[in-house]
Structure 1
Amino acid sequence: MAKVLMKGNEALGEAAIRAGCRFFFGYPITPQSELPHYLAKRLPEIGGVFLQAESEVAAINMVYGAAGAGARVMTSSSSPGVSLKMEGISYIAGAELPCVIVNMQRGGPGLGSIQPGQSDYFQAVKGGGHGDYRLLVLAPASIQEMVDLMGLAFALADKYRNPVMILGDGTLGQMMEPVEFPEMIDPDKLPSKPWAARGAKGREPNIINSLYLNPLELEEHNLKLQAKYAQMAEEETRSESYYTDDAEIVLVGYGSSARVCKAAVDQARQQGIKAGLFRPITLFPFPKAEIQAACRQAKSVLTVEMSMGQLVEDVRYNLEFKVPVHFYGRAGGMVPTTRAVVSKITELVQEGGRSA
């Protein structure tokens, strides 16, 4: 298939359709509104259902219902809207239902701005809502990767019966790049879901539930969930390493920040600095073994984020505090520049990698 030039949000919508998604429930919020706008037109054309709910709270509970019936279903929003969905996301995770949630992050806290941000990292990878649950979190860095990860997101959601979040940002949602789409998946040919609530003629009814009044039963359920998350950590880590084989300073960033970091690495290399980039693609599970391998020769590590410092905590933890880890970030919708990151690299090299 030939490549087409598309805006990130619209490409995500088409990718979801190609992955077999036929149900979308959401509510408009900048900078992701083009995604539901695109699906409002496309889903009815192929016999799917698009519904703009009265609120984010209503939308996520509609996702719960469709997922419980075995459908491939998606919702999308941006930072404040995802916060409103958190109770429903906890219910979905507790009921072990597969779905895809897109968050095109913007600056915060509060209403913040409509500019890109990355300050929802904690919310995405640490649970966000109540209870001991986890989302699989995928962090694309290009429009093509958003398209590719959408198919993976639905596959992983079904494999683990768990919600999967695609964590983007306003830059990725609004920018345009050429993309190539996969062939269309026929939803009727997807593997069956014998657990789904689709009627019970000739068999015992399936019950979709996250309520356990007996504390021993709830503890057993939690232990089952934790075993599932451990399996994810064992089997589903994904990352990219760039010039890390001999790197003495390794940058760590995801999404749009990683694009800035890659350009900064190139410029630093031109100046004779042995810089590299480690980009986690799965934010949960975090690629621990991979980042340790990428930083095996590093004298220092620098995380670059569009936040006041969230990813940096997982980097320090997964490197087991064996390497000095520094932080550079912008907030409020400000995007780090290549020049500023190169300047920070130069400063750290001159200081000899001493911990900040």
Structure 2
Amino acid sequence: MNSYTYKIKIFIDKNQKEIRIDKFLKNYIQNISRNQIQNLTISGKVLVNRNIIKKNYKIKPLDFVEIEIYKPSVIDYLEYKNITEEKINLDIIHEDEDVIVVNKPAGMVVHPGFGNETGTLIHGIKYHLINSNFNELNLYRCGLVHRLDKDTSGLLVLAKNEYSQKHLFQQFYSRTIQRKYIALIWGNLIEEKGTITGFIGRDPRNRKKMKIFKQNQEINRGKFSITHYKVLERFKHLTYVSCYIKTGKTHQIRAHFKHLGHPLFHDSIYGGNRIFMKKKCSNQNIEFMKNCLKILQRQALHAISLSFIHPKNGKCYFYCPIPEDFKTVLNNCRSYHNKVPRKRI
């Protein structure tokens, strides 16, 4: 028996009476409990009219419902349980009996998968927990509540028990967790601050990329996404920005700035590994940019801070410094372009 994910799409009849969504789906889908439906709703796997909903939402006539269900096999469960712990140096910013906050370096994959069977963050977390007398974490059911791309650095929070997982999932679903990123992008943004929105989904021409789709394609193609940004510093041909994401879709910041025509510096998937507007650059500028690309050999994106409500201790805030490769390029840009003092982030 294999594990798989499948989606159910339901167009509600115009004569449908108002009814709680868990009750409606319990009657509509075989072999699913109301508790399972509520957990899926809390984790953002149930959408109505392309929006995340609360578990007490009542279905209305002509609603469009989507539910994503993952069916693990016994083999899949055992593979998770039998992940071999690996001694990996982890930069743990905070740890208590409920959560771990980790500063993930660029180049580390978060979760094992095809082509990344070893050396992931989860392998290191399992080793850490076993050697810290916290060896009861079920890596399949608990742990990850969000992820970072392999070459994005910065803060991740992991749940250490089912209660914490549900608590954090609820905050992600209600968009109360605040995640701040810094990024270096190609070009000169027109506005000092702004918001990027759009329906984001897999690019049908390249499954490794995400794409922003037109609104009339939303039902079949994308999930609504929101990124707020603010300019921190302007350099010649580059802009340093901070970003808050209201939604956490795959490659969201990377795809959003590509959509604006300003790909992230050295983002090889979205075209940021080539010198932007090369014809308008002097030979001196080109050489400077080439040198920066050699220093920062991945997309210039770092999850610099994280704020959420701790399951037991209330609101908490965590910060991690800018990695050396990113910092070096920023400092080189400041020296080279002799810009005004930077704004606080």
TM superposition score normalised by structure 1: 0.25
Which structure has the highest strand share of the two?
2
Q: From the CA coordinates, give the structure whose radius of gyration is larger.
A: 2
* TM value normalised by structure 2: 0.25
Higher helix proportion: 1
Which of structures 1 and 2 has the larger relative contact order (alpha carbons within 8 angstroms, sep 6+)?
1
